[in-house]
Structure 1
Amino acid sequence: MILVDDDVFTMLQADAEPLVDDVNSVLRRRLRASAKPVTRKPSKDRDLLPYLTDGRLEAGQVLHWRRRNLQRLHFATITAEGHLRLEDGREFSSPSGAAAAVAGYPYNGLKAWQTAGGQRICDL
């Protein structure tokens, strides 16, 4: 696993085209490497729209992520589109995208974000 610090991640985000690029595509462009399609396994962590549709979550509902070791508490609001909007206004189409933005490294958002009652998304 390769970890990047916050400054490098911020630079990569600045070069990224929203909803199109990932870290790999930005790095390939910066390194002038040939574009190579990335194959990924289908992910269940796309957005929260199915949770909104069946009533497990609601638009406007606030989720939290308590990071005990760091003594930090993060909040995110569910949008009508099934995205998560962080406190700083950044919006992510998946819970894991929001968790990674907060943590600075990949993190399973379905296990991180919880309802006010303490239920993780993956347990809903």
Structure 2
Amino acid sequence: MALFRIERESPGLVPFAQYAAGDGLYEREVEDLLWDNLEEMLGRTLFRVARQAHLPHGGIPDILALDEAGRIVVIEVKRDVDRQLLSQALEYAGWARESNLQEVATLYVNGAQQFWADWQEFTGTEQPVPISPNPHIVLAAASFHRRTEAAISFLRGAGVPLVVLSVGMYQDADGQKFLDVDRRGDLGPPTATSAGNAETGDGGSAKRSFPATLADLLNAGLLREGETLAWHRPQSGQTFAVSVERDGRLRLPDGRHASSLSAAATMSVGHGSYPGWECWRAESGELLFDLRSQLIQAVYESE
């Protein structure tokens, strides 16, 4: 894929060069970006568990996360995905299928003791949501070997919950980097099962996947540049505030910027993962989740 900048003063196209990074550097940078921006790159709020965690019976997956239904999301990052990596990811999914909350807690980046409070706050439940036996696999890479592509298509066609992220990195003449992400597949929404637990299917979740962004709310006039968003956190009694920037980023009081509502919540507290759309309120008092729903409904009715 070629990426260009359109010149304003002339009808020319300025090409961006593909970022020339070695395998190790590419993988570290993409893993960093994924860990810090799961919501933006996967379109879903996830509870971040660990990076480079050592599994009890061997193996070190790049990133482990949970969705609100308790399903483990195994994320593997490589510059090129071959059959060996695909096999490895399936082995990790096999571990995830047999795992439990106690085991996941021991892997948590903020410690096993902190895991329980953070997990319950993320799910908004009085009792910890147990681990689902239906894990999800995410493969992120710049390229996929031809045979691997065929194997992935077969697995997805057979119902294996697998998301593919094609991640291209580019840079301009000034060294500014750009990320091109093509996502095939989605992390499925929770659905009711006969046992009454939340499980997952295919497609987007009504509550924690994101067909609209903060930039979309700004363009629709539902938010304005400079508007202050507030989050009252009942667990601690604290109230946090951020301001909306013109490009849809969020500015914290200390000058740091967050690229998503969930990231702004995590940066405000200092740890944990939070469903940002369900946390922050606009100056009108409306939840950002409700403003997003208004926008989606308006778009739906106009079609």
Global fold match (TM > 0.5):
yes
Match in the other structure for 1:79: 245
Q: 2:286 maps to which residue? A: 119
Is residue 22 from structure 1 mapped to residue 189 from structure 2 by the alignment?
Answer: no
Tell me the distance in 1 between the aligned counterparts of 2:238 and 2:251: 17
The structure with the larger Rg is 2
- Larger strand proportion of the pair: 2
Identity in percent: 27
Query: What residue identity is the alignment partner of 2:280?
Result: W
Change (3 A) 1:34 1:67: closer
Candidates 84, 101, 123, aligned match of 2:267: 101
Q: Secondary structure at the match of 1:100?
A: helix
Q: CA RMSD in A?
A: 3.0
Q: Which amino acid aligns with 2:254?
A: D
Structure 1 CA distance for aligned equivalents of residues 266 and 222 of structure 2? 23
The answer to whether the Cα contact below 8 Å between 1:46 and 1:94 also exists between their aligned partners in 2 is: no
Task: For 1:45 and 1:100, locate their aligned partners in 2 and report how far apart those are by CA, in whole Å.
Answer: 22
Alpha carbons 1:84, 1:98 under 8 Å: kept? yes
Aligned to 1:44: 210
Q: 1:5 matched to which residue of 2?
A: none
Instruction: Choose 59-68 or 40-49, whichever is displaced more.
Output: 40-49
- The CA distance in 2 between the partners of 1:61 and 1:20, in whole Å, is 27
Give CA deviations for 1:1-38 in whole Å, capped at 9, x if unaligned: xxxxxxxxxxxxxxx869724167x933x97x576233
CA offset at residue 45 of structure 1? 7.5
Distance 1:83 1:98 in 2: 9
Residue identity opposite 2:233 in structure 1: R
Secondary structure in structure 1 of the residue aligned to 2:235: helix
SS in 1 for 2:240: strand
Q: How does 1:45-60 map to 2 (within 5 A)?
A: 47-60=213-226
TM-score by length of structure 1 reads 0.69
